[in-house]
Amino acid sequence: MSDAGPSVGPLTDAQLLDAARAWLAQDPDEETRSELSALIEGAERHHETATAELHARFDERLAFGTAGLRGEIAAGPNRMNRVLVSQAAAGFAAYLLERATEGHTPSVVIGYDGRKNSAVFARDTAELMAGAGVRAILLPRLLPTPLVAFAVRHLDVSAGVMVTASHNPPNDNGYKVYLGDADGGSQIVSPADTRIAEHILRVAAEENVLELPRSEAYEIAPESVVEAYIAETAALASVPATQPTVVYTAMHGVGWQTFSAVLEAAGFDQPTVVSQQIEPDAAFPTVAFPNPEEPGALDLSFETAREVDADLVIANDPDADRLAIAVRDSADPAGYRALTGNEVGALLGWRAAELLDAAAHDEQSASGTLACSIVSSPALRAVATDYGLDFAETLTGFKWVSRTPGIVYGYEEALGYLVNPGTVRDKDGISAALAFLDLASALASRGLSIDDQLDAFAMRFGQFSSGQVSVRVTDLGEITRVMARLRSQPPAQIGGIRVSSIEDLLTNDGALPASDVLRITLDDGSRVMVRPSGTEPKLKIYLDTSSSDGSLDERRSAARDALAALTDGVRSLLAD
């Protein structure tokens, strides 16, 4: 039985040292063993800094939830390391064996990106799964996250594991989990996450990871899996009549090799790459934060785009499940501007609706569902209404978006897009990049640009403007207090516009699962969504306005002015 099992609260200093020593005794990693040994030695000498650091690592444990695991690489249960990953793998294996039907051997496909320890964590998972009696299939090399989501369906396995921290800071890593069979290759949701967590905690409390059964009898997936993904993704685009000039960055991640192969298969020219960022590099040396949404992250892309006079910048995040797009800045001939996730999401949604409409037979109308998260722009609903398609809103996260019945397209404003639900049931930055390039090519063949398409969108569906106010806190209790105040003292107006309704998703009896979200609608149709961040100590407020009256300039001005007033009103509300 392990003494390094889950803690139930703050430890005494004596308990802390016992837990740290027990963890050290089962840690197979020389680097984390060394740093933990130094902390233990410091705490034994009553050094306050070392003791405080051990408390930060051992008083709590990284929780396994619907996003799996994610955290900084270091020793201890509140960090990502080989002990924690081994416990997670063994617990997940127990869950898969528990839910397997009689006579059926459960199976799992495992992928990994280029981050620190990704390959090590993936191999540990494969060995532990195989040792537990689960058929384990390791992808042949570091690959994008969408390849795991694809492989779960393509190989018809019970589950998938992707070792990645997506666009988190350089020293983070994570563990993302998918389920096959009836779940269709989507990320886990409740109650599966709870049951998996229970198994993981049991392993942590009862087992020494060095004594868990391991086996090297796992399989290496054939290259044909990657080739099948490339072929099915390339089929999303038409043969290009016009080739836009493109710059691409992988943000030091793993997207380039696969995206390049997809472009070749689809008949597109290879883009000019941002050479400093094209190869995987776990240190992410050219970006402070490897997230294309972050200020400055696209600076090298813009520099390269100016050098080649590019029409379009395409950026994937490090595991290539997200997509960022930038176009020429009409206000600055030498500049480029990044489109928002809502702008890209709306344009890809319009493209999806157009393709459905064109494919429908004369005697029947197009059918299918366009879906987005509740904090994404209402623009997609307008597209669905115009084309007579179904529309669905989900809770934040692709684990929800991908499960929408009848989905033909889905997105969330945080740069996530699902353009091929028959192939991948998760956001996919590579297939979305090809779909957007296909759109840009079709427009260019008619002498039009992406900005022209945004103008056309505003005139057909209305001008939609979105913004966000984020409040970072040091005390998480402050977020709880703000949400409680908004519920007990709901605002009568925001920014001078009367509040017409407030929907509390924590207590509502609607179609969405309970969630700590407030949806506030104003008399002018504007919307305010308030929710705590699921990954950071932040309160996030999403703002949406729209206008469908007048000329293009009048619509844009009205929506922009309403957004500015709404932003000021929200800041004032939070300051009260």
Q: For 286, list phi and psi in degrees, rounded to 5.
A: -100, 0
Alpha helices in 221-287 (DSSP H): 223-234, 256-266
Neighbouring CB atoms inside 10 A of 356's CB total 19
User: For residue 363, how many C-alpha atoms fall within 13 Å in the half-sphere facing its CB?
Assistant: 0
Using the Cα atoms of residue 285, residue 290, residue 295 and residue 300 in order, give the sign of their dihedral.
Answer: positive
Q: Which two tokens stand for residue 135?
A: 């058929």
Q: Considering only CA atoms, give the Rg of the chain.
A: 25
142 with 280: CB under 8 angstroms?
yes
Sheet with 416-418: list strands edge to edge.
390-394, 369-373, 407-412, 416-418
H or E, element range at 497: strand 497-504
Using the Cα atoms of residue 354, residue 359, residue 360 and residue 363 in order, give the sign of their dihedral.
Answer: positive
Q: Give me the pLDDT at residue 1, please.
A: 40
Q: Give me the pLDDT at residue 363, please.
A: 53
| Residues across the chain | 576
86 with 163: CB under 8 angstroms?
no
- C-alpha dihedral over 390, 341, 110, 197, to 10 degrees? -80
Q: Give me the pLDDT at residue 463, please.
A: 98
Q: Give me the pLDDT at residue 361, please.
A: 65
225 with 84: CB under 8 angstroms?
no
CA angle 47, 53, 57 (to 5 degrees): 145
Active site residues: 166
Among the listed residues 231, 247, 307, 241, the one whose alpha carbon sits nearest the alpha carbon of residue 268: 241
Region for residue 166 given its phi and psi (left: phi exceeds 0; alpha: psi -120 to 50; beta: otherwise): left
Return d(Cα 88, Cα 509) in angstroms, integer. 34
How far apart, in Å, are the Cα atoms of 134 and each of 95, 156, 188?
Answer: 11, 14, 18
* Residues sharing a CB contact under 8 Å with residue 131, sequence separation 6 or more, in sequence order: 212, 213, 214, 215
User: For residue 106, how many C-alpha atoms fall within 13 Å in the half-sphere facing its CB?
Assistant: 23
* Residues sharing a CB contact under 8 Å with residue 145, sequence separation 6 or more, in sequence order: 111, 113, 162, 164, 166, 176, 319, 320, 321, 426
Using the Cα atoms of residue 302, residue 308, residue 312 and residue 317 in order, give the sign of their dihedral.
Answer: negative
470 with 348: CB under 8 angstroms?
no
Strand 369-373 with 390-394, pairing: parallel
Q: Residue for token digits 């869950």?
A: 95
Among the listed residues 90, 139, 80, the one whose alpha carbon sits nearest the alpha carbon of residue 112: 139
196 with 64: CB under 8 angstroms?
yes
- List the chain pLDDT tens, one digit each, 576 residues: 444 555 557 899 999 999 999 999 999 999 999 999 999 999 999 999 999 999 999 999 999 877 789 999 999 999 999 999 999 999 999 999 999 888 899 999 999 999 999 999 999 999 999 999 999 999 999 999 999 999 999 999 999 999 999 988 999 999 999 999 999 999 999 899 999 999 999 999 999 999 999 999 999 999 999 999 999 999 999 999 999 999 999 999 999 999 999 999 999 999 999 999 999 999 999 998 899 999 999 999 999 999 999 999 999 999 999 999 999 998 887 799 999 999 999 999 999 999 999 888 655 777 899 999 999 999 999 999 999 999 999 999 999 999 999 999 999 999 999 999 999 999 999 999 999 999 999 999 999 999 999 999 999 999 999 999 988 888 888 899 999 999 999 999 999 999 999 999 988 766 788 889 999 999 999 999 999 987 678 899 999 999 999 999 999 999 999 999 999 999 999 887
Q: Residue for token digits 């294309």?
A: 292
162 with 427: CB under 8 angstroms?
no
Q: Residue for token digits 């690592």?
A: 57
Burial level of 295, CB count in 10 A (0-12/13-18/19+)? exposed
- C-alpha dihedral over 303, 307, 311, 312, to 10 degrees? -40
Which domains does the chain carry? 63-221 (3.40.120.10), 236-461 (3.40.120.10), 462-575 (3.30.310.50)
Q: Give me the pLDDT at residue 109, please.
A: 98
Q: Which two tokens stand for residue 492?
A: 């009568």
Q: Give me the pLDDT at residue 441, please.
A: 97
Q: Is the peptide bond before 6 cis (omega within 30 degrees of 0)?
A: no
Strand spans (E) along 317-462 = 323-329, 332-338, 369-373, 390-394, 407-412, 416-418
- C-alpha dihedral over 57, 1, 15, 42, to 10 degrees? -60
Q: Residue for token digits 């997230």?
A: 291
